[in-house]
Amino acid sequence: MSSNFFAQQDLARRNTRILVVLFTLAVLLLLLLTNIIALVSLGFIDPSFLSSSLAWQTLPWHLVGWVSIAVLAAVTIAVLFKWQQLRAGGKVVAESLGGIRLLPDSQDPLQRRLLNVVEEMALAANTPVPPVYLLPEQSINAFAAGYSPADAVIGVTQGCLEQLNRDELQGVVAHEFSHILNGDMRMNIRLIAILNGILFLGHIGYYMLRGSGRAGAIRASSRSSGNSKNNGGGIVLLALGLVVIGYLGSFFGNLIKAAVSRQREFLADASAVQFTRNPRGIAGALKAIGSHSSSSKIKNQNADENSHLFFGEAISRWAAIFATHPPLATRIKRLEPHWNGKFPTARSAQTAVDATAGTNEAKPTNAERLQQALPLLLLHSSRQTEPATALVCCLLLQQDHDIRQKQLQLIKELGSASLLQQTDQLCDSVANLDALQQVQLLQRLIPALKTLSESKFRQFEQLLQALMQAAATPDIGSWLAREFVEHSVAVQFDPAQISRKYSGKTLPQLKPAVSALLALVSQVAGDDAKQQQAWLAAVAALPFTADNTRPDFSFTNLSAQLPHLLALAPQQKQQLWLAIEAGVRADKLLVTQEQALLLALALLLEMPYQPEPSAA
């Protein structure tokens, strides 16, 4: 792979720390300005007092302390409030922008094309297929939002569907998947919450001004009654000062967004080409933005706070220094160095749709070839809720006749007769898939499974648990299927899991978890001698000394250890991944089952990994 996504994820993590530092400096400056304005407007000091050599000695420090506490409390409350709103993940962002979730089995031609492209790019990036939201905007734009690949959503404007051909749409979607793999989404969501705190003081000033206007009549009545002792002017001055501070907050906020966002856009453009192998696709989309009357501008009232999420510049900026994205021409030049600098003539929606015909037909991507290889029955079933649950059940069925009959009875008792019927209809087709195709079928099921209500999903969880228990010794494929559903679907009902943090632990500190995982990796190697060979190769790649004796393997133990491994920082995950690959490749061969294991483990541990073209 030409792009090291582990390194980019670590860079995004460091950028988050820089973001916190910039936020702290901005808050300290706003704190100073707020104290000055409060002391002057409320009459505690005279403006000329600040230039006095004795100013710092005679300041009312007790009042400064209270003002500082009030400002910090207001900023903290604003950040925590926005953070709480965003805990539900990417879908909250999409809905705040007016996004409408597309049904996975939509038959609308333009929507179907978009959903197919998202499936293809998810397979190319090796992530769960995310839910897709359609924004009612005529401009050409898109975004990815969420904390992790399991929580991610893709949002696309109506203008994207109508104005772009398939290659261009694929380039835009690939760009958004690059943000998912580069770790930008988590940083972007935190940026929304942090900037809300900076802007909150301005909101307070605005509401104080509105309140002072309503109180005007009361003050006038007091003066007519002979009571002229009021500090209404001071309150208005304080409110105006806070509004000015709000604009300063907006100034700093936009600078922070621009500083953090721009270089990540160049990286996402380059990574998109890596996924699609077609620089003309994303370059064509950028040219279409340049020639389209609505450009990439978003009209939704929440566009400003989310502007750094989008594919193109979402709002108009009065100065280039505040732009969250590099200029269109600069981005195009990096993709097409010989571009003449002229944007094409704007085309009609129908022209773009007609241009789709035949696109990608001559040179299908690996992901498209895999999609074409799946039976249509399984493709259609993966996009509907109940058939999708039946497909998961099929993946958990064991070959042993007695065990299978027991499992089928459980499906009827804990599920329904309809679910049993669909499982029976689909199980033969699923059994004919190789291990690699089964993993990729699982990826496709996620959008349909995420349409389940929490109560329905919990009932489905109980069924999956019962099916696993019915198998005395479940195979690796069954375990991976159940864990992947838990990881990718159950997370949406648990905000704590959606916004989980990196643990800060190292591989040596998680030796039991690492050993449990590498024991699984060695299981697929073959006979005992090959399993031992795989184990020794894997532990030799670890940054610490491990036992040469392969431990007993337990699915239960590994399930308990997975959350610890998932919370590893990117650099630690990269070291773990090198050990996994060393174990799988110990015999110098990479068979389909081993390739499927790599794909599944990368999905479970949210590690960037792409299958080799030869395996497709």
Cβ–Cβ contacts within 10 Å for residue 549, how many?
8
In the predicted structure, residue 411 carries a pLDDT above the cut 90: yes
Sheet strands side by side (includes 132-135) = 100-101, 132-135, 153-157, 142-145
Q: In this predicted structure, what is the pLDDT of residue 44?
A: 67
pLDDT level of residue 351 (50, 70, 90 thresholds): low
pLDDT level of residue 451 (50, 70, 90 thresholds): very high
- Provide the Cα torsion 129, 133, 138, 144; round to 10°: -60
Catalytic residue of the set 176, 265, 594, 606: 176
Kindly give the pairing relationship between strand 100-101 and strand 142-145: unpaired
Those residues whose C-beta lies under 8 Å from the C-beta of residue 487, and which sit 6 or more positions away, are 150, 562, 566, 603, 604
Kindly give the pairing relationship between strand 153-157 and strand 132-135: parallel
Of 322, 200, 190, 299, residue with least CA distance to 249: 200
**Single-letter amino acid code for the residue at 394:** C
Average pLDDT, the chain: 83
CA atoms within 13 Å, Cβ hemisphere of 496:
1
Candidate from 7-21, 211-225, 397-411, 473-487 with smallest mean pLDDT: 211-225
Question: How far is Cα 186 from Cα 570, in angstroms, rounded to an integer?
Answer: 13
**Single-letter amino acid code for the residue at 198:** I
Q: Ranked by mean pLDDT, which of 88-92, 250-254, 420-424, 555-559 comes out on top?
A: 420-424
pLDDT for 39-62, tens place per residue?
A: 777 666 666 655 565 556 666 777
Q: In this predicted structure, what is the pLDDT of residue 359?
A: 47
Determine the 3-state secondary structure of 100 from DSSP.
strand
Q: Ranked by mean pLDDT, which of 91-105, 262-276, 307-321 comes out on top?
A: 91-105
pLDDT level of residue 33 (50, 70, 90 thresholds): confident
Task: Say which residue, 455 or 71, is predicted with more confidence.
Answer: 455
Q: Ranked by mean pLDDT, which of 64-68, 156-160, 326-330, 341-345 comes out on top?
A: 156-160
Radius of gyration (C-alpha) of the chain in whole angstroms:
28
Question: How far is Cα 281 from Cα 524, in angstroms, rounded to an integer?
Answer: 39
In the predicted structure, residue 438 carries a pLDDT above the cut 80: yes
143-165 in b/e form (b: 16+ CB < 10 A) is bbbbbbbbbbbbbbbbbbbbbbb
Candidate from 173-182, 186-195, 324-333, 486-495 with smallest mean pLDDT: 186-195
In the predicted structure, residue 616 carries a pLDDT above the cut 70: no
pLDDT for 141-187, tens place per residue?
A: 999 999 888 889 999 999 999 999 999 999 999 999 988 888 788 88
Task: Say which residue, 100 or 66, is predicted with more confidence.
Answer: 100
Q: In this predicted structure, what is the pLDDT of residue 93?
A: 93
CA atoms within 13 Å, Cβ hemisphere of 260:
33
559-569 mean pLDDT: 90
265-293 mean pLDDT: 88
Question: How far is Cα 297 from Cα 276, in angstroms, rounded to an integer?
Answer: 26
Q: In this predicted structure, what is the pLDDT of residue 495?
A: 75
Q: Ranked by mean pLDDT, which of 29-43, 182-196, 258-272, 283-297 comes out on top?
A: 283-297
Those residues whose C-beta lies under 8 Å from the C-beta of residue 276, and which sit 6 or more positions away, are 121, 124, 167, 170, 171, 174, 282, 365
Q: Which residue's structure tokens are 């991507």?
A: 365
In the predicted structure, residue 401 carries a pLDDT above the cut 70: yes
In the predicted structure, residue 268 carries a pLDDT above the cut 60: yes
Kindly give the pairing relationship between strand 132-135 and strand 100-101: antiparallel
* List of long-range contacts for 331-336, beta carbons under 8 Å, 24+ apart: 331/265, 331/266, 331/269, 331/286, 332/283, 332/286, 332/287, 332/290, 334/266, 334/269, 334/270, 335/269, 335/273, 335/279, 335/282, 335/283, 335/286, 336/279, 336/280, 336/283
Distance in angstroms between the alpha carbons of the first and the last residue of the chain: 16
134-143 mean pLDDT: 96
Q: In this predicted structure, what is the pLDDT of residue 66?
A: 84
Q: In this predicted structure, what is the pLDDT of residue 6?
A: 60
83-105 mean pLDDT: 91
Cβ–Cβ contacts within 10 Å for residue 23, how many?
22
pLDDT level of residue 79 (50, 70, 90 thresholds): confident
Question: How far is Cα 293 from Cα 390, in angstroms, rounded to an integer?
Answer: 46
pLDDT level of residue 524 (50, 70, 90 thresholds): confident
Residue 594 among the catalytic residues: no
568-591 mean pLDDT: 88
Q: Ranked by mean pLDDT, which of 67-81, 369-383, 406-420 comes out on top?
A: 406-420
353-363 mean pLDDT: 48
Those residues whose C-beta lies under 8 Å from the C-beta of residue 522, and which sit 6 or more positions away, are 531, 532, 534, 535, 538, 550, 583
Those residues whose C-beta lies under 8 Å from the C-beta of residue 284, and which sit 6 or more positions away, are 164, 165, 167, 168, 171
